[in-house]
A and B are shown apart, each in its own frame.
Chain A
Amino acid sequence: MLVTFYLNNVRVSYDVRPDEYLAETLRSHGVKSVKVGCNETSCGSCTVLLENRPAMSCGILSASIEGKHITTVEGIQEEAARIAYFFGEEGADQCGFCNAGYALTIYALKRELKNPTDDEIKDYIVGNLCRCSGMQSQLNAIKAYLKEE
């Protein structure tokens, strides 16, 4: 079946199976920044923005996003570069598998929460797991990034 949606503000139409998930659709159309870790809606590495909100693309049926806006890290390049800079400064990236999902969640966090406390930041990113680090470096990087503004 055909589904039409906006991918990083560009209108696209893709032929999808009724049981196809967005992570698969995006990757099969070359959007390899979307990483599939668990494929069980648990790790958050496949996070995209659905109507500007973080959402696990391995849990979104592609058929369900007719007319909706999807943002991947390609759609927020400038801010993703800033976030990557702070991740680098804090040593928060190692293998890098979780980074694109993180960048999108942090991008949304900045728009949704005003002057968040440490606990509010932790609560917002708890659904993005990093297998390589202890999450403290991510927290430091996010705080530095939010402070920059």
Chain B
Amino acid sequence: MIVNKYYRASSLEDAYSKLQENPRNTILGGGLWLKKIGQSHETLIDISSLGLNEIKDSKNEVVVGSMVSQRDFENSPVVKALFNDAIAFSTREVMGVNFRNLATIGGSIMGRYPFSDVITGLLPYDVELEFYPKQTMFLEDYLSYKGKLNAILVAIHIKKGQGKGFYKKVKTTALDFPIVNIAVSRVNGQYRIAVGARPAVASLALKAMEYINSLKNPSKEDFAKAAEMAVEELSFLDNKDASKEYRIDLAKVYVRRGLEEVNK
């Protein structure tokens, strides 16, 4: 990575105006992905002293500042308390502690990575992104947004609810990227299914969700049918880690197990 200047922003306004100055100016999160892709930047904008590293709990939602590290996120009692620890667990599946102490939640979302555990783990919940200048967007809308959003992610808002979650990352060794990842939730009686690393950024299986949510008391067979529908409506591809067929087989099994699990 080549960087000409390093700028410590004094406020969100300051950071944003620096970002607009040059298309090669870039917001710095934990900087790990920026290092990996190795592009050159005119100015890196450090937003670490703007108070964006707090997790706030309220009656209806948990608000996570974009500069919260993955490790603080997964260890936060309020995040762990959400949906039987399923969201925190998905972040725990990323690399090791010495990595997650640096990587941020904001950086993990903004890149819309096709392999992301953090994004797949959040997608089946009611998650809104708060940006500067003032704008909010549901996570799923941000994932399908065309083009680059030249704004600063301030926080993510995770809505509370009654229910359970399930997360599965299939990987070859402990530190690998996922071959496929699956997150399923049942919150306030509604099922949601997300599948990522297909290898494409996570998507909701909307038809399968509609089917399973239309049933009063779904049976094991209904869950199996919803899992079939999910892999049919989502696209899967080959890459060096796994074939399309293998991914489909894995996703089918884990979507079914996830539905059974959150139904318990």
Residues on the B chain within 8 Å of A71, using CB:
none
Please tell me if the beta carbons of A105 and B97 are within 8 angstroms of each other in the complex: yes
A61 at the interface (CB under 8 A from B): yes
Give me the interface of A with B, judged by CB distance under 8 Å: 1, 17-19, 21, 40-42, 44, 47, 50, 53-56, 59-61, 63-64, 66, 101, 105, 123-129
> Does B134 make an interface contact (CB < 8 A)?
no
Interchain nearest-CB distance for A113 vs B (Å)? 10
Docked-complex contact B3 and A59, CB < 8 angstroms: no
Minimum CB distance partner of A124 in chain B: B97
B175 touches A59 (CB 8 A): no
How far does the alpha carbon of A44 sit from the alpha carbon of B95 in the complex, in Å?
10
B98 to A55, Cβ gap below 8 A? yes
- A59 contact from B2, B4, B6, B35, Cβ within 8 A: B35
Q: Are B102 and A128 in contact (CB under 8 A)?
A: no
Contact B96 A59 (CB under 8 A): no
Closest to A58 in B: B35
| Smallest CB separation, A94 vs chain B (Å) | 21
Besides A42-B175, A123-B97, A126-B97, 19 other A-B contacts (C-beta < 8 A): A18-B5, A19-B44, A40-B36, A41-B99, A41-B102, A44-B96, A44-B98, A47-B98, A53-B97, A55-B101, A56-B99, A59-B30, A59-B31, A60-B31, A61-B31, A63-B46, A64-B48, A105-B97, A124-B96
Residues of A contacting B35 in the complex (Cβ-Cβ under 8 angstroms): 21, 40-41, 59
With a cutoff of 8 Å between Cβ atoms, the chain B residues found around residue A124 in the complex are 96-97
Smallest beta-carbon distance A14→chain B, Å: 14
Determine the chain B residues whose CB is within 8 A of the CB of A42 once the complex forms: 95, 175
The residue on B at minimum CB distance from A40 is: B36
Asked if A18 meets B3 with Cβ closer than 8 Å, knowing A53-B71, A59-B31, A59-B32, the reply is yes
- Give the CA-CA distance A26 to B181 in the complex, in Å: 38
The 3 closest A-B pairs by CB, nearest first: A127-B96, A19-B3, A18-B6
B98:A54 contact, CB within 8 angstroms: yes
Chain B 1-28: CB-based contact to A (< 8 A → 1; otherwise 0) = 1111110100000000000000000001
Which B83-98 residues have C-beta < 8 A from chain A? Answer: 92, 95-98
Q: Are B6 and A126 in contact, CB atoms less than 8 angstroms apart?
A: no
Nearest-neighbor residue (CB-CB) of A47 within chain B:
B98
Bound Cα distance A21, B36 (Å):
13
When C-beta atoms are compared, the residue in chain A nearest to B95 turns out to be: A127
Bound state CA distance, A54 and B99, in angstroms? 8
Are B97 and A61 in contact, with the CB atoms below 8 A? no
CA distance A40 to B31 in the complex (A): 12
B174 within 8 A of A: yes
Residues of chain A with a CB closer than 8 A to B28's CB: 61, 64
Which of B8, B46, B99 has the most C-beta atoms of chain A within 10 angstroms of its own C-beta? Answer: B99
**Chain A residues whose C-beta falls within 8 Å of the C-beta of B1 in the assembled complex:** 19
Q: In the assembled complex, which residues on chain B have CB atoms less than 8 Å from the CB atom of A101?
A: 98
Chain B nearest CB, measured from A103 CB (Å): 13
Residue in chain A with minimal CB distance to B94: A127
Residue contact B46 to A64, C-beta cutoff 8 Å: yes
